Structures are given as C-alpha cells and as structure tokens.
Amino acid sequence: MNKAIDPALMQAAEAIGSTPSTGLEAWWMPFTANRQFKQAPRLLARASGMHYWDVHGRQILDGVAGLWCVNAGHARPRIVQAIQQQAAELDFAPTFQMGHPKAFELAERLASIAPAGLNRVFFANSGSEAVETALKIALAYHRVRGEGTRTRLIGRERGYHGVNFGGISVGGMVGNRKTFGLAVAGVDHLRHTHDPARNAFSVGQPLHGADFADDLERLVALHDASNIAAVIVEPVAGSTGVLVPPVGYLQRLREICTRHGILLIFDEVITGFGRTGQPFAAQTFGVVPDMITCAKGINNGCVPMGAVLVRQDLHDAFMTGPEHQIEFFHGYTYSAHPLACAAALGTLDTYAEEGLLTRAGELQDYFAQAVHSLKGEPNVIDIRNIGLVGGIELAPLPGEPTKRAFGIFLDLYAKGLLVRTTGDTVALSPPLIIERGQIDQIVDLLRGAIRRAA
C-alpha cells in the first residue's frame, strides 16, 4: 500500500470525519481503488429506508439503491423478518435431486410477473452466474434439438454482463479485454447504440438508432445463422453509462433473431424489478426475449441471488430422454438457497403491497425533468434517463478520464449523498420508494458538486 497520503485525499477524509486507519490491509476490495479507499475509508454501518449511516453516524442519502439492488429501500420489515425466520427454520437445503417449498413458490411468483411465456426459472447466486447460466442454456438448447452447430454467442459493445468468463466475453468493456485477454472464443459483438451526435440530451428513449439492430444482419452474413446460438443485450446498458435503447431498436433486434432462429437474451440484472416502470424492461419496451437474466432487486439485494427466466418451450425441449437422467448439467450449491428465497418472497410481497414495480413509471416524468435541469451546468455533455435511472455525462478532465466523475463521487459522499460513477458518467438509480423531495435533494446536491468540479 502507498503510505504517502495525497493532500486532496486527506481533505476528502477529513470532510467525512474519516482518518486513514490501520487494519484495512487484508481485504482486497472488489472494483475499488484500494489505495485511495484505505487512505480515506468510507465505512457504512447501518441503513434504513432511503438512507445509510456511516460508522461516524453521518446520514447518507442513497442515490443508487446500494448498487442498483435495494429497490424497496433498506431494512424493510417483511424482508428482515422473512430472513430471520428462515435462518431458524431451514438454514440450508440441497437443491440437487432435492427441493424445498419456498423455491417452488418463488419460481411461480417470478413467472407470474415475467413477460408472458417466460415461466420457467433457473436459480443462481448473482447476476454474473445468471448470465453464465443463460449462455449455457442457449448452447445446450440448440444441441438437444439437433442444431449443435449453433455455438457462437453475440454480445454488444459497451455491454456489461458480470465478471465471469462467459460474461466478460459477450460483454463489450475494453477493460476486460485489456486485462484478461481472449476469455471465451467464438464470440462476436454488435455495435453499441450510443450516438451522442444525434441523441444527446434525449428525454427517455432516443429517437435515432433503431437501425443499429441491423448490425446483427451483418454478423449473420459473416458467420451464418446456423452457427449462432444467441444474442445477449442489456435493454438499458447501466454499467457503461446508462445507455437507453433507441425507439424501435429492441423490436428490430427481436425480429432479426426470430427470423434466423437465434435466441434473444435480455440481461435485466439492473432493469429487473421495477427500475423502468414495469416489473421488467421487456414489458416497458414491449419486446419479449427468449430468456431474461435477473438478480439484485430479486430480493432487494439482501441475500445473494440470481435467476434466469426461460421460455417454456426452451425448457420443454430438455425434457426428453430417460427420466432418471439429469436434463441440464448445471447448477450451484447455493441455487435457490432458502435464505435467498425467503428474502425474495418478502421482497415480492413488499413490491406488491406498495406498488413499487410500477412506481418508477409514475415518477419518471418528475425524475426526468429534475435530472435534465442539469443541462447547461459546467462540463455536462449529455443526460440520459428512463424510469428511475439517470446518467449525467461529464467532459473528462484533459488526459485524466474518470477523474472528474470520481471527484464528484467523493465530494457528494462528503455532502451526504451516495451516487455511482462509471467512466465520467454519474449514474443515479435510487430506491423506488423515493419521494419527489428526495429527487430534488439529489439533483441539488449533484448540481453543487458539478459546479465545484468545474
């Protein structure tokens, strides 16, 4: 660890009442600037509703639902109680050749809010695992139907599908390619849909770019459809800066996939569970994929869990052969873990009781107006939004990409607001229980930080 303390970081530490501590060395933190963090640690101690409190008792407004997952807000009683009771009643149950009632109940409940036809559910423990599972289902599905040549997977530039080898391969983040090399072979990518020249400052879906979906025709012409298993995209790309699909783009992608017998997978790890105004973005945009990957909001981020929602006939294609044989050779020790299932059932009850799966639709116009009021602030080069997701993109500091946004993140944390930055975009995805006054508070704090960073 670098022991010399940067004066700017020292200032950031003082602003949050934090001082460089000892005892922080052992934990190699994920997706974190470890040396910076350990000089000015940001340690959370508890959470309730829309807020966190740090170890010094400072209140912090949660502008990103933890990490796009705490959709119902923190410490919700039904969820807390469900987890506590479950831990005492059935702490673990194997799910290979065994089952437990809550897993079946949860699968039924998920099917009931999923787009029509996606009524089979495979459980995993994270978004990354849900992605690997969906890709494997796609490969295995074609094989069981006698189309085993369909092995190529297609992702999209600027896509994020988690951190495992399949996910980083179909994903389109240069950082992964640079660091981890080839990963899975036999993958290709559609071009991304970001087109600031035509679409900057679009409110909601950008108007231009449905034709970016035609890039799939180019890849079909190159590889031949008989070799392509599936296309995976995020309906709204979150981790590469909140990229909202152009009007008509997803419809066109669906048409092309259907025409060529290619499976379409929507990665809804962040858009699932009400983020865009419907349970799933597939419903918001009116496009039904063949599989949906989800995680995070599935149980309000309380216990690790992911899932793949699968079209029934895909599932049914596996249900052949001798009945004593395993049909799909895949699963995790913790697939459908009892604590995760109990938390998910408590979460779905909370969503239903409070109308949270459609609340983002009700707040969308107010939220859009609030975030777009930042247009014209120094260095703001684009603003993007859908449902309760906002992306405010800033011009990078010359020669120092990401630093301006990271400085804003630190500044806002000191002022009592948690946001997330990706590149030089500040992303907002607050819990769906947010009130209008708290939207104003977030935008006011952000405006101040953007001005200070100029």
Which residue shows structure tokens 């349970």? Answer: 279
Phi and psi at 39, nearest 5°, equal -85, -25
Q: Does residue 132 bind ligand PLP (CB under 6 A)?
A: no
| From candidates 86, 239, 300, 421, binder to ligand PLP by CB under 6 A | 239
Minimum CB distance to ligand PLP smaller for 153 or for 220: 153
Q: Within positions 142 to 161, which residues make up the interface with ligand PLP, using CB under 6 A?
A: 160-161
| From candidates 132, 234, 290, 411, binder to ligand PLP by CB under 6 A | 234
Minimum CB distance to ligand PLP smaller for 225 or for 270: 270
Q: Does residue 40 bind ligand PLP (CB under 6 A)?
A: no
Q: Does residue 135 bind ligand PLP (CB under 6 A)?
A: no
Minimum CB distance to ligand PLP smaller for 86 or for 240: 240
Least CB distance from residue 145 to ligand PLP, whole Å? Answer: 27
Q: Does residue 124 bind ligand PLP (CB under 6 A)?
A: no
Q: Does residue 389 bind ligand PLP (CB under 6 A)?
A: no
Least CB distance from residue 335 to ligand PLP, whole Å? Answer: 14
Minimum CB distance to ligand PLP smaller for 268 or for 377: 268
Stretch that binds ligand PLP, among 136-144, 267-275, 324-332, 352-360 (CB under 6 A): 267-275
| From candidates 153, 216, 270, 282, binder to ligand PLP by CB under 6 A | 270
Q: Does residue 123 bind ligand PLP (CB under 6 A)?
A: no
Torsion angle, alpha carbons of 173, 177, 183, 187, to 10: 60
Minimum CB distance to ligand PLP smaller for 238 or for 431: 238
| From candidates 40, 131, 243, 356, binder to ligand PLP by CB under 6 A | 131
Least CB distance from residue 400 to ligand PLP, whole Å? Answer: 25
Minimum CB distance to ligand PLP smaller for 210 or for 270: 270
Phi and psi at 351, nearest 5°, equal -55, -45
The token duo for 407 is: 């400085």
| From candidates 206, 209, 238, 289, binder to ligand PLP by CB under 6 A | 238
Torsion sign over Cα 63, 67, 71, 75? negative
Q: Within positions 280 to 309, which residues make up the interface with ligand PLP, using CB under 6 A?
A: 295
Least CB distance from residue 299 to ligand PLP, whole Å? Answer: 12
| From candidates 132, 215, 267, 377, binder to ligand PLP by CB under 6 A | 267
Q: Does residue 128 bind ligand PLP (CB under 6 A)?
A: yes
| From candidates 39, 86, 126, 350, binder to ligand PLP by CB under 6 A | 126
Query: Count of alpha carbons within 13 Å of 54, Cβ hemisphere only?
Result: 21
CA gap 378, 372 in Å, rounded: 13
Q: Does residue 127 bind ligand PLP (CB under 6 A)?
A: yes
Minimum CB distance to ligand PLP smaller for 270 or for 310: 270
Least CB distance from residue 126 to ligand PLP, whole Å? Answer: 4
Nearest residue to the partner ligand PLP, using Cβ: 127
Q: Does residue 71 bind ligand PLP (CB under 6 A)?
A: no
| 142 and 229 Cβ atoms separated by less than 8 Å | yes
Least CB distance from residue 236 to ligand PLP, whole Å? Answer: 9
Applying CB under 6 A, the residues found at the interface with ligand PLP are 126-128, 131, 160-162, 234, 238-239, 267, 269-270, 295
